[in-house]
Structure 1
Amino acid sequence: MVPYSRLDRMADLELEPRRNETRRSPGHPAGTADPFTPHPAKGWGLPLAVLIAGMFMSILDTSIVNVAMTSIRKDFGASTESVQWISTAYSLTEGVVVPASAWLGARFGLKRVYIWSLVLFTVASALCALAGGLGSLIFFRILQAIPGGVIPVTCQTILYRIVPRNRLGAAMGMYGVGVVVAPAIGPTLGGYLIEHFDWRAIFYVNMPIGILGTIAAVAVLSKFPTDRGRPFDLAGFACIAGALFALLLALEEGSSWGWTSYPVLILFAVAVNLLALFVVVELQVDHPLLNLRVFRHWPFVNSLVLVAGMMIGLFAVMFYIPVFLQSVQGLSALDAGLVLLPQGMVMAVLMPVAGQLYDRFGARWLAVAGLTLTGTGILMLSDISVGVPRGEVVLGTVVMAAGLGLGMMPVMTGGLSALPNAFTDVGSAISTLTQRVSSALGLAVLTAIVTADRAQLWADRSGLLAGSGADINPRVAQLQQQGDPGLIQLWQQLSNQVQTQAYGNAFAIAGTVTLAAVAFAFLLRSGRPAAGADKPMAH
């Protein structure tokens, strides 16, 4: 147990405002630049473009792979459950790696870590494209997820090092193109590549981006000071890595294993206990993996709540709408992707605009408008029917996308900019974890609700088939007279109706949750953000 007086001295050091940009960090060599001091504001546009390219590539790969699952399953002759591990293994590995990203950047240098992450991601993408079987593809996806988890945290930390505080909104607006637009256009791009080439093309497409991005990073990015004396918190990493692995595995497999099955319940119990142990460890060690004192800042915590609400809505739509369009309305992967393309274009246009507005007016009213539009758009999709026109689907997704384009980056920027520069890397890691866990948790809960709704809706409609004589539905009787073809048609119609109604109920819940988060948006700061390089921490 660390003595109270020692903890108190540590807290005083961390809570002390950094009013002088050239002031030495604790443990940093005298005569060198403070690693937490932002670089001069000159020339940050080109480095930002390099960061956007890497971020776009890493996030695009998480959504573009989903549309290729059917093609991969047919090519390898594997079951649907086995093929799903292509995505599951990636998510689990990425979740485990993210907490260590902040330490890697501090220990080896942000530029070096970013470059090597791009190289490894590109090589792993090529190996995925060359995979000769399902086992090797899953293994290469694990390799790909290691840099895939490091890149977002590293990119965001570098951004906060090179961009002055009064221009963070504009920078994050551009950066958001990689964060939100990539998953939005993933289904369209993936559908095109699969329809015109092969599923391996979704991995090959990363290679030119990765090669050019690596060359540009070497030439453009500045070196950042390192903290080579910072030890690795092995105990903390073991706790948080084990907790995230157990939690994400339970969320990924809960719908197939059963939410009340012993494996899932045990995984949840392990996750809760390891998270509790992680908190204890981090508050005791001298050099925590993730400094939990970052949660003393209410603006940052509030931003995490709002980001979680938006991510739940985004991933609900991005998961269920393509499934609805393909399985219920019979569209191809490319056509389904084209229906979703307008929302990606709307976000790409609005995010830079929202960044400029944030620099002038702050986050509050952009967040309020963004969450309101996001929730409204999702609620519009709750009225879908089997024969809903594509225009109505496009309208609902575009309204949602307009809200995300206006609100997502101002919320994230407002939260992270409230932190002192010394906590930027920790804040970036926790923000990334929040996005991953909230999207997985929200999608898992909605999937459980959809599964339960489908069972109940099937039971409600069973009376259509159980009736006899005068009680039977005339349309049902007509289909029954056609024999097996008629019964198959009847089953397909009922299946589509049940599935569509279950998706509509899920959208109603996701939209309501998003609208409820508007109350938290009113608690954000308004007004032009301060131009200072740093701010004192709140006591």
Structure 2
Amino acid sequence: MSTDTDLDPRPATVDAPVADAPRRPVAEPPAPTPAPAPPASAGNPWIIPLLVLVAGMFMSVLDISIVNVAITTMQNDFGATTDEMQWVSTAYSLAEGVVVPASAWLGTRYGLGRVYTIAMVFFALFSTLCGLAWDINSIIAFRVLQAIPGGVIPVVALAALYKIVPKDKLGAAMGMYGLGIIFAPAIGPTLGGYLVEYVNWRLIFFINVPIGVIGVLAAIFYLPKFPATRGQKLDVPGFAAVAVGLFSLLLALHEGPTWGWTSYPTLILLTLGTLSLALFVVIELEVDQPLLDLRVFTHWAFTNSLLLIAIISVGLFGVLFYIPVFLQQYQGMGAFETGLLLLPQALVMAFVMPAAGFLYDKIGARVPATIGLAIVAYTTWDLASLTIDVSHGHLELLLAARAVGIGLAMMPIMTGGLGSLPSSLSSNGSAVNTLVQRASSAIGLAAMTAMMTIQQAQASADRSGMVDSSAMGGMSGTAAGASDGAMMQQYQMYSQLQSQVFTTAMNDLLYVTAILTAIGVPLALMLRHGKPAPSDAPMAH
């Protein structure tokens, strides 16, 4: 810690002929306060702060997937309908979509470190309330509250990462950071399944409390201080426009299958959402201090990365949602059994993502992203041939191979896109990136659910006549004593029909996902190739 030598090298040379010992202290008061984070040349001082950010990101994203395996158990406890229980996840997505656009402003206005720490505190607090919920209305309300800090944490964490990590080390850093983005939702079903089946579903929320406490303490002691811009005003019209737009679109996609796609409420919401987002663009281009600086879209490398991130997010969260449903409802597996079957893909991602990050630092994003997307497209197409009696070993292998592709592609794509932006736009880029991830996964899942509902209804209508005629044939000429057996046979045929209908609809959905991913391969070929250029020292103060 040679601060004296570093702060005052010139007086020793210039004033040597007349310098006295008492003159040296005069130079110290104007010296700037040294930054808490050591300079980039002193090894890797960003490692520990990065791990702090990864912990918060992991906690906030884990809650998205870990809740899915508990839905059935919570439904039984609360005596709620399936439609009501869907709001446990939908309400979180709606609230998160509203708060994410304002998160960049919060980080800029009050300082990234301070906002991150406060968000961690409230996320742990609201998680506790979720664990204490007593009925369906309370759990939905607490999930809305939980989504507010849950939407802030990813934005400020990603913006902070780009402040503390040199540009030539971003690949390695993002490889570790990706454990929160992709590994957390992949490991969620395993952890959640164990807690639901062997302990209590409430622990899926209570588990956030110790993680949150440790994360807050680590943030206080290890995160560097980030400057706050006091004069930054909130763009209220822009925030209102984007909040109404995202909320309307998500609600329309969620309720469309129930209300009907041509019903007035659905059409009104879709129109309102589209017009509100268009108004948001107009507002952001006119105001002096926009909520989100849309100049980020003038950088094609960043825009291209957003398109690819949306494609991956739709496929990732769609499979993470429907495969557990398939295994539990139609193959009779328990929650923990399902989690164990999905565990290998999570472990593969945990291994591949850091490796992909180091690969990005050596050769850029184009090669790993292209290979990764090609693997995802091929394995998803292969996955689309599922049958109701598919081998679990075969399913594990396909999911693990698919995880290799996602782990290879996701972090290089995201790192390359954000790394293409100038430092002045990094916070806005982080907010837009997180918004695209969340919106694409939520809207994509809602759209996939709508497609599933339509296809299942059509397939059921096409095949129900077969069941009815077969059942009636079995019923005709039977004695009254044999009616129970005929009814049981009809029920079994109906259950088999529903299994076949669901499997067929899910396979069609996987085919669409595979084609969408394949479309991303040419876009990946447009990503930058070659070792990223080194940057200046980190900007955290």
Same fold (TM over 0.5): yes
1:379 to 378, 381, 390: 381
Unaligned runs of 5+ in 1: 1-30, 535-539
Offset of residue 512 of structure 1: 1.1
Task: For 1:195, give the aligned amino acid.
Answer: E
Matches for 1:45-60 after TM superposition, within 5 Å = 45-60=47-62
- 2:170 pairs, out of 140, 146, 168, with 168
**Higher alpha-carbon deviation: 401-410 or 253-262:** 253-262
Aligned partners of 1:463, 1:371: CA distance in 2, in Å? 42
Distance across 2 between alignment mates of 1:309 and 1:399: 18
Structure 1 residues 163-312: aligned runs within 5 Å: 163-312=165-314
Name 1:10's counterpart in structure 2. none
**Worse-superposed segment, 229-238 or 166-175:** 229-238
Q: Which residue of 1 aligns with 2:95?
A: 93
In structure 1, what is the Cα distance between the partners aligned to 2:373 and 2:507?
Answer: 19
From 324, 327, 330, the equivalent of 2:326 is: 324
Aligned counterparts, 1:6-85, within 5 A: 40=40, 42-85=44-87
Give yes or no for contact 1:480–1:486 (8 Å, CA) kept in 2: no
Identify if the C-alpha distance between structure 1 residues 440 and 468 changes in structure 2 by more than 3 Å, giving closer, same or farther.
Answer: closer
CA deviations on 1:334-380 (whole Å, 9 max, x unpaired) are: 11111111100000000000000000000001110110111112111
Point out the more displaced range, 431-440 or 147-156: 431-440
Letter of the 1:525 partner, please give it: R
After TM superposition, give the deviation of residue 96 of structure 1 in Å.
Answer: 0.6
Residue in structure 1 matching 2:120, options 118, 121, 128? 118
Question: What's 2:449 paired with?
Answer: 447
In 1, the alpha carbon distance for the partners of 2:528 and 2:181 equals 23
Deviations 1:449-483 (A, max 9, x none): 222222332233245336579x989xxx9x99941
1:284-337 deviation per Cα after TM superposition (whole angstroms, max 9, x unaligned): 111001011110000000000111111111112111100100111110111111
Counterpart residue number, 1:410: 412
Q: Does 1:521 align with 2:508?
A: no
The letter of the residue matching 2:200 is D
Q: Match for residue 507 of structure 2?
A: 504
1:44 counterpart letter in structure 2: W
Partner of 1:153: 155
Change (3 A) 1:45 1:449: same
Structure 2 counterparts to residues 339-354 of structure 1, below 5 A: 339-354=341-356
Mark the CA change 1:254 to 1:38 in structure 2 (over 3 Å): closer, same or farther: farther
Looking at structure 2, the residues matched to 327 and 464 of structure 1 have their Cα atoms a distance apart, in angstroms, of 23
Structure 1 CA distance for aligned equivalents of residues 231 and 339 of structure 2: 49
The one-character-per-residue Cα deviations of 1:471-501 (angstroms, maximum 9, x if unpaired) are 989xxx9x99941011111111111111111
Deviations along 1:375-407, one digit per CA (max 9) or x if unpaired, are 112111100001110011111211110001101
Question: Contact 2:38/2:45 (CA < 8 Å) preserved in 1?
Answer: no
Q: Deviations over 1:185-208 (max 9, x none)?
A: 111111100111111111111011
In structure 1, the residue corresponding to 2:434 is in which secondary structure? helix
Aligned equivalent of 2:371: 369
**Contact 1:378–1:508 (Cα < 8 Å) also in 2:** yes
Q: CA deviation at 1:444?
A: 2.3
Distance 1:132 1:441 in 2: 29
> C-alpha distance in 2, partners of 1:222/1:481?
72
Partner of 1:490: 493
Cα offsets for 1:126-162 (capped at 9, x unmatched)? 1111222322222221211111000000010000000
Q: Distance in 1 between matches of 2:493 and 2:441?
A: 35
The yes-or-no answer on 1:458 pairing with 2:444 is no
Q: Distance in 1 between matches of 2:85 and 2:460?
A: 28
CA deviation profile, 1:243-263 (whole Å, cap 9, x unmatched): 111112122222332222221
Kindly provide the CA deviation profile for residues 219-276 of structure 1, in whole angstroms up to 9, marking residues without a partner as x.
1001011110111111111111111111121222223322222211111111111111
Paired with 1:505 and 1:484, the residues of 2 have a C-alpha distance of 32
Give ranges in structure 2 of 5+ residues lacking alignment: 1-30
Amino acid at match of 2:260: G
1:499-532 CA deviation, whole Å, 9 max, x = no partner? 1111111111101110111010000010001112
SS in 1 for 2:291: coil
Aligned residue type for 1:490: M
Query: Matched residues in 1 for 2:355 and 2:318: separation?
Result: 25
Deviation at 1:32, TM superposition (A): 8.2
* Residues 300 and 414, structure 1, Cα contact 8 Å, conserved in 2: yes
Q: Does the CA contact (< 8 Å) of 1:39 and 1:162 recur in 2?
A: no
Aligned residues: 498
Aligned residues: CA RMSD: 2.3
- Give the match for residue 420 of structure 1: 422
- Taking the aligned partners of 2:458 and 2:288, their CA distance within structure 1 comes to 54
Matched-pair contact (CA < 8 Å) for 1:363–1:414: yes
**Structure 1 480/412 Cα, relative in aligned 2: closer, same or farther at 3 Å?**
farther
- Which moved further from structure 2: 50-59 or 257-266? 257-266
- Measure the CA separation in 2 of the matches of 1:133 and 1:468: 43
- 3-state DSSP class of the match of 1:84? helix
Q: Is the 8 A contact 1:38 1:533 kept in 2?
A: no
**1:152 and 1:258 mapped to 2: Cα distance?**
34
The 3 A distance-change label for structure 1 pair 266 and 129 is: same
> Which amino acid in the other structure matches residue 395 of structure 2?
V
TM-score of the aligned structures, taking structure 1 as reference length: 0.89
Larger radius of gyration: 2
Contact 1:38 1:163 in 2 (8 A): no
Q: Classify 1:465/1:123 alpha carbon distance in 2 versus 1 (closer, same or farther; 3 Å).
A: closer
Corresponding residue number in structure 2 for 1:135 = 137
How many angstroms apart in 2 are the aligned matches of 1:313 and 1:140?
28
**Letter aligned with residue 209 of structure 2:** M
Q: Deviation string for 1:80-102 (max 9, x for gaps)?
A: 22222221211111111000111
| Cα distance in structure 2, aligned partners of 1:159 and 1:66 | 29
**Equivalent-residue separation in structure 2 for 1:230 and 1:448 (angstroms):** 41
1:249 and 1:354 map into 2 onto residues whose CA distance is 36
Partner residue, 2:337? 335
Is the Cα contact below 8 Å between 1:38 and 1:160 reproduced in 2? Answer: no
For residue 151 of structure 1, give the secondary structure of its aligned residue in structure 2.
Answer: helix
Q: Which residue of 2 aligns with 1:398?
A: 400
For residues 460 and 83 of structure 1, what CA distance do their matches in structure 2 show? 29
Q: Quick one: structure 1 residues 507 and 32, their matched pair in 2 at CA, closer, same or farther if it must change by over 3 Å?
A: farther
- Structure 1 residues 355 and 468: alpha-carbon distance in aligned structure 2, compared to 1, 3 A threshold: closer
CA positional deviation for 1:74: 1.5
